[in-house]
């Protein structure tokens, strides 16, 4: 009897070990508590929900469940590096990353270890896959990817629109442009590229205005903005601190067209800022936003229900982009595993190059097409610009209720198709 029980226990233990060995370890670096958690939370939730949905509906990758090792690193680059070392011991095959400082700090590691890294950072430095741009300090980034246009290309698109907007307005003289944001790798990432194009387009480029990544009193910055007479101002921080700027500038009577970076505005920020957010123009990575219809929205809503069983939550633009980002990693892994292939970093990287105009299956009309090449990881140069519209009191009701009531909405402005200029690669 004892031998039989021991035998069963041993068999169960071996079976458990076998299942554990079959699981695919995938790192997920999240900011749920740090300076960018206002947008990190919905994006990270979208990634986690999408991976759970793949396990439920597709049995993972080639029958192997994805074991998502999700960690909140509080937007602290040293903690990200330490976590990477732990994940290396756990043999992760890929990583869903987050911020610019930590992504850039880990670039050499993931290149050395051949671990595909899909970041929430869209720094242009990550797109020079072969390191051939010739830019000072350029290093190859063959294992770094992201979904959507780079920060620099998004800003180039907004400046292109701003120049057209100025011409249409019939106002005299040169428009004035200013870069605003924290003195940090993330808001600084597109600064030089934006200022260079602004000068080329005929803007008067004003001295940059610095404000922290965290909420605060930015009255002084708004008064500087007013005194400079800026016409167009780029907000390089995430929505949390941008809200403070928008409110302070509204109080100070600043008349300027704000251009938000991709993390700088969303539906949650519109509710928080109220009328101060009205008119902000910003890029949106997906083809639709929550509440709009597209063939792929059926799957996005199913994914959303994994963390919102009632199906009542309104998902901001970052959640949907998180889903699309996750599905790129998933399908690159699926491609690597085809025909019983080894699921390793090099084969997964090749999976990112396997398709042209790549839209994850089942997400048509939601995820915009991506195109990656071994020497150029600019997944897209097509930038959709939207405007935040707030026409009432946002203090009453949640985001879903305010959108349904028409109190606020995200409306399309235009889409800018940039040239794939060689001298813009990595910059």
Residue 259 · residue 158 · CB < 8 Å: yes
pLDDT band at residue 134 using 50, 70 and 90 as cut-offs: confident
What confidence tens digit (pLDDT) does each residue in 200-230 have? Answer: 999 999 999 999 999 999 999 999 999 999 9
The yes-or-no verdict on residue 15 having pLDDT over 70 is no
pLDDT at 1: 42
pTM: 0.94
Residue 51 · residue 68 · CB < 8 Å: yes
pLDDT at 137: 77
Please state, for a pLDDT cut of 90, what percent of the chain lies above it: 93
Q: What is the DSSP string of 210-271?
A: E--SS----HHHHHHHHHHT-SEEEE-S-HHHHHHHHHHHHHTT---EEEE-TTS--HHHHH
pLDDT at 186: 97
The yes-or-no verdict on residue 14 having pLDDT over 60 is no
What confidence tens digit (pLDDT) does each residue in 364-401 have? Answer: 999 999 999 999 999 999 999 999 999 999 999 999 99
The yes-or-no verdict on residue 328 having pLDDT over 50 is yes
The yes-or-no verdict on residue 7 having pLDDT over 50 is no
The yes-or-no verdict on residue 265 having pLDDT over 90 is yes
pLDDT band at residue 133 using 50, 70 and 90 as cut-offs: confident
* Angle between the N-to-C axes of helices 239-251 and 37-58, in degrees from 0 to 180, rounded to the nearest 10: 140
What confidence tens digit (pLDDT) does each residue in 178-192 have? Answer: 999 999 999 999 999
Give bridge partners of residue 233 from the DSSP assignment.
178, 258
The yes-or-no verdict on residue 6 having pLDDT over 60 is no
From CA 247, how far away is CA 330, in angstroms rounded? 40
The yes-or-no verdict on residue 17 having pLDDT over 90 is no
Mean pLDDT of the chain: 94
Lay out the sheet containing 117-118: strands in order across.
66-72, 24-30, 94-96, 117-118, 144-145
pLDDT at 20: 46
What confidence tens digit (pLDDT) does each residue in 78-109 have? Answer: 999 999 999 999 999 999 999 999 999 999 99
- Among 103-117, 125-139, 336-350, 374-388, the range scoring the smallest mean pLDDT is 125-139
Domains of the chain with CATH codes: 151-289+382-424 (3.40.50.2300)
Judged by DSSP in three states, 29 sits in: strand
């Amino acid at each position: 009897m004892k031998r039989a029980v021991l035998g069963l226990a041993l068999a169960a233990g071996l079976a458990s070990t076998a299942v554990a060995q079959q699981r695919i370890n995938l790192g997920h670096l999240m900011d749920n508590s740090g300076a960018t958690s206002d947008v990190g939370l919905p994006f990270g939730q979208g990634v986690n929900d999408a991976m759970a949905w793949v396990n439920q509906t597709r049995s993972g990758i080639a029958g192997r469940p994805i074991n998502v090792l999700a960690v909140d690193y509080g937007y602290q680059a040293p903690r990200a590096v330490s976590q990477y070392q732990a994940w290396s011991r756990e043999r992760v095959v890929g990583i869903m990353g987050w911020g610019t400082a930590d992504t850039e700090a880990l670039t050499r590691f993931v290149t050395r270890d051949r671990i595909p890294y899909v970041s929430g950072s869209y720094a242009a430095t990550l797109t020079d896959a072969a390191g051939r741009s010739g830019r000072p300090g350029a290093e190859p980034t063959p294992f770094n990817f992201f979904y959507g246009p780079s920060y620099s290309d998004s800003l180039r698109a907004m400046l292109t629109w701003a120049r057209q907007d100025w011409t249409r307005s019939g106002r005299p003289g040169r428009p004035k442009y200013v870069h605003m944001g924290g003195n940090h790798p993330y808001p600084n990432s597109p600064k030089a590229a934006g200022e260079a194009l602004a000068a080329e387009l005929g803007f008067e480029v004003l001295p940059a205005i610095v404000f922290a990544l965290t909420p605060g009193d930015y009255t002084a910055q708004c008064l500087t903005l007013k005194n400079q007479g800026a016409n167009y101002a780029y907000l390089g921080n995430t929505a949390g601190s941008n809200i403070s700027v928008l409110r302070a500038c509204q109080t100070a009577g600043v008349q300027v067209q704000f251009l938000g970076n991709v993390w700088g505005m969303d539906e949650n920020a519109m509710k928080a800022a109220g009328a101060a957010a009205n008119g902000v123009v910003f890029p949106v990575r997906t083809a639709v936003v929550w509440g709009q219809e597209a063939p792929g929205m059926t799957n996005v809503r199913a994914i959303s229900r994994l963390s919102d069983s009632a199906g009542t939550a309104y998902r901001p633009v970052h959640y949907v982009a998180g889903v699309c980002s996750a599905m790129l990693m998933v399908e690159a892994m699926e491609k690597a595993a085809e025909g019983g292939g080894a699921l390793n970093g090099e084969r997964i990287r090749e999976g990112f190059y396997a398709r042209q105009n790549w839209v994850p299956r089942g997400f048509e009309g939601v995820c915009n097409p991506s195109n990656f090449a071994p020497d150029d990881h600019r997944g897209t140069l097509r930038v959709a610009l939207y405007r935040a519209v707030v026409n009432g009191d946002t203090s009453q009701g949640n985001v879903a209720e305010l959108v349904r009531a028409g109190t606020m909405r995200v409306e399309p402005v235009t889409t800018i198709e940039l040239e794939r200029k060689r001298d813009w690669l990595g910059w």
